[in-house]
Amino acid sequence: MKRVAFMTLGCKTNQYDAEYMRERFLEAGYAPSRFDEIADVYVICTCMVTATGEHKSLKYVRQAARRNPAADIVVTGCVAQHEGEKLFLPGVRLVLGNARRSEIVSLLERARREGRALCAVEDLAGAPFEPLRVVAHEGRTRAVMKIQEGCDNRCAYCIIPEVRGPIRSRSLSDVAREARELGEAGYREAVLTGIHLASYGRDFADGTSLLNAVEAVCAAPGVERVRLGSLEPAWIDETYARRLAENDKLCPQFHLSLQSGCDKVLGRMRRRYTTAQFRRAVQSLRAAFPGCAVTTDVITGFPGETEADFQETEIFCREIGFARMHVFPYSERPGTPAASFDGAVPIAEREARARRLIALGRELEERYVRSLLGRTVEVMVEEEESGYSREYVRVRVPGAGDGEIVRAAVETLEGLTAVGRRLQTP
């Protein structure tokens, strides 16, 4: 029996796509293998949001070729979409972009029959939403649902619209159907994800929106918690937040991408909001979901960012009080407008600013976790008596069993993990 090994980098959407392709190999009779083992096929699901992600992707291609020179290597994902035949490196048999993923096994077999490397990268302009369906998910309780693909925003620094294509959405009936299937299969939490999740439904003519998708998934029997991926702050106002709050199953944790807390830098980034709009979005969510966790992404050292600009970001992040921050030093992406901007910040300074912001992020995260002391939280236990609260804080509940959803009174902290005493369900 042939063996297949996967290495997946990047976002939850990429992870969903990778799991779908892995299942196609298993259906075809392949046995799963770890990436650090000898396999007959290695599939590298690449990411190119940052230069680091792209370099890691290529590193894993070379590692696979060294591990088993006789193996067939498949390179897929965003780097594959962007580079195409340039990725015909030693051992690479198939380059597959962000389409035709349902054909991955047949395309590989065709390349073998023809005795050559095959490039199966399609132009994504006008491409429909590719209906993928994943049966197995990470763990036994949480499932990711990809409901949207592509982005139309074209921020100055971002290559994603080029490698993921324009926005397109999964049909609402298909979203509802998969949610029901997940509930029937025993998954207790559904995480809705997409490249630009807030734009879900914009490509439909009937007014369907992300709110409708949330309602459909919340209505699925067996699904007890629904969580959202990243949202654009410009979409959140009081009315939108109140509509979200009408869904009791929706977890009060919201990821709003900030990228910079300085309006001048946001303008150069071509982001479609100001810090004042971002602040109002957070206020709307906190009014509708008291005590909710607001998390974010920030880029440091964008071209033209001065020390004063960066200090504005530090002050703004402290003011908002994020529950968690993901911080990245700016990385030039060839082909994006920002790659040719003047005012480049030295790499060492970008990284130094990132370290400062990471330290602030840890301080704010500790503050948020500490705010749970004395509160009662709902925890979905995943392994070793621990899991995540609805706010996505790690909580350990002594005596709780895997797969349970329990109520716990938070009594102590262990670093960034809360420790709770299990309460009886009323």
102/106 Cα distance (integer angstroms):
9
| Interacting residues of 296 by C-beta distance below 8 A, sequence separation 6+ | 255, 256, 257, 258, 317, 320, 322, 324, 325, 326
Q: Are 401 and 381 in contact (CB under 8 A)?
A: yes
Instruction: For residue 32, give every residue at least 6 positions away whose Cβ sits within 8 Å of its Cβ, in sequence order, or none.
Output: 3, 4, 5, 22, 26
Query: According to the CATH classification, is domain 142-368 in 3.40.50.300?
Result: no
pLDDT reading at 425 higher than 90 = no
Question: What DSSP line would sit under 301-346, residue for residue?
Answer: S-TT--HHHHHHHHHHHHHHT-SEEEEEE----TTSGGGG-S-PPP
* φ, ψ for residue 254, nearest 5 deg: -130, 130
The 10s digit of each residue's pLDDT in 127-169 is: 889 888 887 765 668 899 999 999 999 999 999 999 999 999 9
The proportion of the chain whose per-residue pLDDT surpasses 90, expressed as a percent, equals: 89
Rg (CA), the chain: 22
Least confident of 96-105, 124-133, 187-196: 124-133
Mapping DSSP to helix (H, G, I), strand (E, B) and coil, where does residue 210 land?
A: helix
The residue type found at 233 is: P
pLDDT score, position 70: 95
pLDDT, residue 222, reads 94
In the structure, what pLDDT confidence band is assigned to residue 341 with cuts at 50, 70 and 90? Answer: very high
109 Cβ partners below 8 Å, 6+ apart? Answer: none
The encoded tokens of residue 318 equal 């402290």
Question: Does pTM top 0.85 for this prediction?
Answer: yes
Tens-place pLDDT, residues 387-424: 999 999 999 999 988 889 999 999 999 999 999 999 98
Distance of alpha carbon 77 from alpha carbon 48, whole angstroms: 9
pLDDT, tens only, 238-293: 999 999 999 999 999 999 999 999 999 999 999 999 999 999 999 999 999 999 99
Question: What pLDDT band is residue 175 in, cutting at 50, 70 and 90?
Answer: very high
- CATH number given to 376-423: 2.40.50
The domain limits of the chain are: 3-120, 142-368, 376-423
In CATH terms, the superfamily for domain 3-120 is: Methylthiotransferase, N-terminal domain (3.40.50.12160)
